[in-house]
Structure 1
Amino acid sequence: MDDIEQANQIISVQDELNSAYRMAEERSAVLSAIIDSSDDAIISKNLDGIVTSWNLSAERIFGYTASEMIGTSILRLIPEDRADEEPHILSRLRNGDRVDHFHTKRRRKDGQLVDVSLTISPVRNREGLIIGVSKIARDITAIKIAEEKSAILSAIITSSDDAIISKDLNSTITSWNASAQRIFGYSAEEMIGESILKLIPLDRHQEEPLILGKLKSGERVEHFETRRMTKWGTLIDVSLTISPIKDNAGNIIGLSKIARDITDKKLEEQRKNDFISIVSHELKTPLTSLRSYIQLALIKARERTDEFSTRLLTRAEVQTGKMSTMIHDFLNLSRLEEGKMTLSLSKFSLADLMKEVVLEAEILASSHQLVMDACPEVELLADRDKLGQVLTNLLSNAVKYSASGSRITIDCLVRDNQVEISFADQGLGIAEEDQRHLFERFYRVRQDQQQSHVSGFGIGLYLVSEILKLHGSEIRLQSRPGEGSVFSFSLALES
């Protein structure tokens, strides 16, 4: 071989070495970029546990910089109660084993513990000898928190006395808890994958699209009382609370339904309403007779100018009037709960009705100043008796919650083919919390020393609200504690 060939061979070998070197550099650069850009902490250490490399995510997760960690023991990250993990892992790695997804805790620079999932592999030299350890640590704190929350929610759902059901937007059931099986009779295997319509009576199938429409717009349906069908074909009364289920992007992907069996509650309410109705009817007849006797005795006492008897009988007449109103309220409540309250519509003068109500109230509330501006001569098409009950209840309510001698103002204002009627008092006023519940059945404003004398069952304003709803109206309230209250409503005028 001459010198030229030998030189060419040397050049060729050098080119191959340079090419291999460049490829090694490129691979090293790629690996370095991958390590630096990884969301996981990538750490290497020797067999004595001394850190030899530390990437940016290791700094982000554990708080230490590379200069703080390289050359120090990995034990710096390990809590005292887990110190035995390191020699155990090293022992496995010296045997050539790989440790995958080992869940544990590590300590940050600020002292906080983080949940991590470790994947640990041996690092070998060219001869295959293990010279170190490569560790990938993934922060799974958020996953652990989510798992704990999921476990708590799962325990709540499993132990709940209410049926908790989820379904997709096509009304197909996707989950079914133990109480759903107890209440409706079907097992989870029988219901998951089935339509929720399996539980809905035929005459109530229209409820499902109405509820879905509300929920798809992001609304929540609370305490919706209806009936559902069990596996045995019996109907039960239920109270439903239904909420949209959203994904991480806020898109509605399903519905969560909580169903409470209120059959016993409904039966109890029916018994109570029946009792109230029977008792009220039984009391009404003797009370009517008693009022008649008192009125006759009052006429005779006045004829004899017997002031003492007149005064006592007048008070007796007032009290029997209150009792008669109370019984009338209970009867109306019973009819309303049974769905039997109807309107008997007729045309009548609002001014005449207002005068009757105010004149009667002046007898019962002689210690108050009742001020009513002239009510416009307009005609209404409404139930005169029930509207009279509304006016009487609002006026008597203003009297009850106002101090003796204070003014109660009654206004009638006509605008836009409607008449607005209002009752303004100078009483105690009503707190915002009470206002939210004031028109609920049997709700009474919280008592304090100023109003401990006020009696009642908390049905007057409930009936006012319900009667006005039957007339296509609603009761409105403006009030502040210590500043009095204004109750008002509007009715369409008869054209």
Structure 2
Amino acid sequence: MTLSVDSRISTFLQRLAFIAASTSVLVGAVVLVGGWGLGVEALTVLVPGLPAMVPGTAAGLILTGTALGLLCPATPSPHRRWVGRGCAALASLLGVLVLAGYVFHQGWLDTLFAWLPSTRARSLSPSPQTALCFLLLGLALVLLDVETPRGRRPAQYLALTVALLSWTAVIGYGTGASQLHTLPGLPAGIGMALHTCVAFFVLSLGALGARPTHGLMRTLTGTHAGSVMVRRLLPPLLLGPYVVGHLSLLGTRAGLYSASTAFALVTGMLTFMGLPFLWSASRRLNHAGLALEQAWRTEVLQRAWLMSIIEQMPDGVLILDEQGHILVANAAAKSLCVSDSSGLDAFGNRFLFDLRRPSGEPLPWEEVPFVRAVTRGELEAGVELSLWTREGRRVPVLASATPIQGRQGTPGGAVSIFRDITPLKELERQREEWTSVVAHDLRQPVSVIALALDALRHDTPEGPPAHQEEPLQWIDTSVGNLRRMIEDLLDASRIEARQLRLERQPVSLTEHVHACVRRMEAQARGRPIRVTALDEALTLGDPLRIDQVITNLLSNAVKYGTPQTPIDVEVTREEDELRVSVSNEGPGIPPEELPQLFRRFHRTPGSHKQAAGIGLGLYICKGLIEAHGGRLWATSTPGRRTTFSFSLPEVERASSSLASGTH
């Protein structure tokens, strides 16, 4: 779990890192140029008799400050990163050379800086503590962005070590304990200078503040009670013991009290100084505990409300985690599962769902909506499927699944809903039955009208009078339209009920296309129909139904195309399929209308002004083509060109996979 970070504290620490880098470079440059180059001794030794900042230390501070300044941004450019790491590596190398010089009794830095006028007869080697600080701080900057698998940053631990060493030396200066900044046994004047200690302490704070949202610094920059408590207690813990100890030491040196009395005073003062901070921390933790308890109670209550709502929902609801394990399944979902005890699915769930397509074909596991939501983060909305329960009952459902996004966009599981649409299917069945009954019942009056029309035309040998011929023709046209509508309604009912009968036989698509084009030329109103076809294009199908599809597509091209523009018909081969395409120029179909074209009774806006119809033609064509094992689709560029295409299996494939009979 990642703690949230206080952006203000984070920004302050990043600015502090840049200030620390600038300060280090400035101090090093002033001491190197002014102190050793120009001979201003007050810049090298702040207090006479104490250790001086040698040229090697000043150069090291410049290198370390430059490295920190270049690496301060959270995402430095590659050039800045490489130059910054190079400066940090040189600072570490400086520390290694100094430590090696002490081991092997060599003064390599004395030779390196001997050209400076103020270095004569003076030791130029930094102290071992200074060399160690350069080594550790340089490594910290080189490893600034390295993180272990457990989220720890080695650079922060190295910087903390440098802060401890430098702060200890500062305390030594404040209390007069020279052993803390000058190691015993070294030549006089060799030690960690006062401004060197301060510079290292500031640099270590800058290295810690450069990445305030990672590793140990998350505890300091967080927004929770523990982080706030650390920020409040850290300054007193650093300064309190030093101030108290320094005051007691001054009293002892002035002869106000003995060393034992000083020890008692320090102990008492530290104890009483710690009590307010302990009290404040306890109060804040109590407030945080109360807030947490209240939040927990609210969360439990809200969770109970949510679970009650989910349990009472008529739709089946599943809540899954990122591994696909079912966390929640309400009563409706449990009633739809095929098993809840024996066997496990691929996710390891004991609730098994037998999901199938509406045709009854088993649905592959990777195509199950909640599987796609969990594994691929895909949203599924309103997919019509069938569920088979443990009682063997088939339940038509609309399945939906929504992936859940966790923190920082990571997968967090999914929610899946199964809506029982049995009542809707029953209404749809009743509507289809009513449509079929109405269509059947309309046949009789239409037949009576047709017979009466035929009797009027043949009532006398010479035929009807001239003034009656036009009204009779109107009646004949209307009867033809009614018959086509009735046949469309019946075909739609047969397709929906999967009772469409096909008389399959080998069919030449090329011959049928040419025949349909010849029949349509009279209705094309002078528009040329251009045919590009294969010499041999055999499929297995019902010739009358295939003619019905081609004729419908040609009729639509004539109705909705721009006058005096050609209609193109192509018969091509695509792998093991034969494709027929009918294209025309015209106003086209809006992209949002394309998915709706093949629905029952659907008509695009404005189409009723161009041609009469009830919106079943394309629906029937799609059902006929799918009954043959093919597919029908449309593409359109508004204002330019529209193409309707269907594909059918070639005769070799069709003869082995399709059989004549009921679809």
Please indicate the TM-score interval, normalised by the length of the shorter structure: 0.5 to 0.7
CA distance in 2: counterparts of 1:462 and 1:445, whole angstroms = 13
SS in 2 for 1:385: helix
Which structure shows the bigger proportion of residues in strand conformation?
Answer: 1
Match of 2:351 in 1: 196
Match of 2:553 in 1: 394
CA distance in 1: counterparts of 2:361 and 2:514, whole angstroms = 49
Counterpart of 2:272 (choices 127, 130, 154) is 127
Match of 1:39 in 2: 221
Match of 2:400 in 1: 241
CA distance in 1: counterparts of 2:468 and 2:378, whole angstroms = 63
Q: Structure 1 residues 348 and 35, CA, compared in 2 at 3 Å: closer, same or farther?
A: closer
Q: Structure 1 residues 277 and 37, CA, compared in 2 at 3 Å: closer, same or farther?
A: closer
Residue 322 of structure 1 pairs with residue 481 of structure 2: yes
Counterpart of 2:316 (choices 140, 156, 163) is 163
CA distance in 2: counterparts of 1:196 and 1:175, whole angstroms = 11
Residue 478 of structure 1 pairs with residue 635 of structure 2: yes
CA distance in 2: counterparts of 1:252 and 1:276, whole angstroms = 48
**Aligned CA-pair RMSD:** 5.2
CA distance in 1: counterparts of 2:395 and 2:610, whole angstroms = 42
Q: Do the aligned residues in 2 keep the contact of 1:398 with 1:408 (CA within 8 Å)?
A: no
Q: Percent identity?
A: 23
- Structure 1 position 320, deviation (Å): 2.4
Aligned residue runs from structure 1 range 130-145, under 5 A: 130-131=275-276, 133=280
Counterpart of 2:540 (choices 374, 381, 386) is 381
CA distance in 2: counterparts of 1:354 and 1:178, whole angstroms = 56
CA distance in 2: counterparts of 1:40 and 1:479, whole angstroms = 56
CA offset digits 1:24-71 (Å, max 9, x no partner):
x9xxx9x997679623265679xxxxx98888xxxxxxxxxxxxxxxx
SS in 1 for 2:352: helix
Q: Do the aligned residues in 2 keep the contact of 1:225 with 1:238 (CA within 8 Å)?
A: yes
Counterpart of 1:228 (choices 375, 382, 387) is 387
- Structure 1 position 235, deviation (Å): 4.5
Residue 176 of structure 1 pairs with residue 329 of structure 2: yes
CA distance in 2: counterparts of 1:270 and 1:489, whole angstroms = 28
CA offset digits 1:408-443 (Å, max 9, x no partner):
514233446865433333433111111122122332
Match of 1:413 in 2: 571
Q: Do the aligned residues in 1 keep the contact of 2:557 with 2:567 (CA within 8 Å)?
A: no
Q: Structure 1 residues 486 and 314, CA, compared in 2 at 3 Å: closer, same or farther?
A: farther
Q: Do the aligned residues in 2 keep the contact of 1:410 with 1:421 (CA within 8 Å)?
A: no
Letter in 1 for 2:595: R
- Structure 1 position 333, deviation (Å): 1.3
Q: Do the aligned residues in 1 keep the contact of 2:337 with 2:388 (CA within 8 Å)?
A: no
CA distance in 1: counterparts of 2:451 and 2:566, whole angstroms = 31
Match of 2:365 in 1: 209
Q: Structure 1 residues 43 and 481, CA, compared in 2 at 3 Å: closer, same or farther?
A: closer
CA distance in 1: counterparts of 2:578 and 2:355, whole angstroms = 43
CA distance in 2: counterparts of 1:205 and 1:253, whole angstroms = 31
Counterpart of 2:419 (choices 248, 260, 263) is 260
Q: Do the aligned residues in 1 keep the contact of 2:568 with 2:584 (CA within 8 Å)?
A: no
- Structure 1 position 394, deviation (Å): 1.5
Match of 1:456 in 2: 613
CA distance in 2: counterparts of 1:303 and 1:493, whole angstroms = 53
CA distance in 2: counterparts of 1:197 and 1:420, whole angstroms = 41
Q: Do the aligned residues in 1 keep the contact of 2:439 with 2:486 (CA within 8 Å)?
A: yes
- The runs of 5 or more residues in structure 2 that have no matched partner are 1-171, 182-196, 209-215, 236-268, 342-347, 653-663
Letter in 1 for 2:482: M
CA distance in 1: counterparts of 2:179 and 2:315, whole angstroms = 70
Q: Structure 1 residues 359 and 285, CA, compared in 2 at 3 Å: closer, same or farther?
A: farther
Q: Do the aligned residues in 2 keep the contact of 1:401 with 1:451 (CA within 8 Å)?
A: no
CA distance in 2: counterparts of 1:374 and 1:195, whole angstroms = 58
- Structure 1 position 468, deviation (Å): 1.8
Q: Do the aligned residues in 2 keep the contact of 1:184 with 1:229 (CA within 8 Å)?
A: yes
- Structure 1 position 130, deviation (Å): 4.5
- The runs of 5 or more residues in structure 1 that have no matched partner are 1-13, 46-50, 56-123
Letter in 2 for 1:163: G
**Range with greater deviation from structure 2 (374-383 or 475-484):** 374-383
Q: Do the aligned residues in 1 keep the contact of 2:318 with 2:327 (CA within 8 Å)?
A: yes
Q: Do the aligned residues in 1 keep the contact of 2:631 with 2:648 (CA within 8 Å)?
A: no
Q: Structure 1 residues 243 and 355, CA, compared in 2 at 3 Å: closer, same or farther?
A: same
- Structure 1 position 317, deviation (Å): 3.1
Residue 369 of structure 1 pairs with residue 527 of structure 2: yes
Structure-1-length-normalised TM-score: 0.60
Q: Do the aligned residues in 1 keep the contact of 2:598 with 2:622 (CA within 8 Å)?
A: yes
- Structure 1 position 279, deviation (Å): 1.9
CA distance in 1: counterparts of 2:463 and 2:552, whole angstroms = 35
Match of 2:604 in 1: 445
Q: Structure 1 residues 428 and 19, CA, compared in 2 at 3 Å: closer, same or farther?
A: same
CA distance in 1: counterparts of 2:451 and 2:535, whole angstroms = 33
CA distance in 2: counterparts of 1:160 and 1:185, whole angstroms = 16
Which structure shows the bigger proportion of residues in helix conformation?
Answer: 2
CA distance in 2: counterparts of 1:266 and 1:341, whole angstroms = 20
- Structure 1 position 460, deviation (Å): 1.4
- Structure 1 position 165, deviation (Å): 0.9
CA offset digits 1:101-133 (Å, max 9, x no partner):
xxxxxxxxxxxxxxxxxxxxxxx9423674454
Match of 1:86 in 2: none
Q: Do the aligned residues in 2 keep the contact of 1:434 with 1:446 (CA within 8 Å)?
A: no
- Structure 1 position 258, deviation (Å): 0.7
- Structure 1 position 229, deviation (Å): 5.5
SS in 2 for 1:425: strand
Q: Do the aligned residues in 1 keep the contact of 2:569 with 2:580 (CA within 8 Å)?
A: yes
**How many positions carry a matched residue from both structures?**
386
Letter in 2 for 1:242: A
- Structure 1 position 467, deviation (Å): 1.9
Counterpart of 1:427 (choices 571, 580, 586) is 586
SS in 2 for 1:482: coil
Letter in 2 for 1:478: T
SS in 2 for 1:411: strand
SS in 1 for 2:383: strand
SS in 2 for 1:487: strand
CA distance in 2: counterparts of 1:418 and 1:227, whole angstroms = 30
Counterpart of 2:437 (choices 244, 266, 278) is 278
CA distance in 2: counterparts of 1:435 and 1:254, whole angstroms = 33
Structure-2-length-normalised TM-score: 0.47
Residue 468 of structure 1 pairs with residue 613 of structure 2: no
Match of 1:68 in 2: none
Letter in 1 for 2:367: I
CA distance in 2: counterparts of 1:20 and 1:441, whole angstroms = 95
Q: Do the aligned residues in 2 keep the contact of 1:172 with 1:196 (CA within 8 Å)?
A: no
- Structure 1 position 390, deviation (Å): 0.9
Q: Structure 1 residues 291 and 425, CA, compared in 2 at 3 Å: closer, same or farther?
A: farther
Match of 1:59 in 2: none
Q: Structure 1 residues 336 and 131, CA, compared in 2 at 3 Å: closer, same or farther?
A: same
Q: Structure 1 residues 463 and 204, CA, compared in 2 at 3 Å: closer, same or farther?
A: closer
- Structure 1 position 154, deviation (Å): 4.6
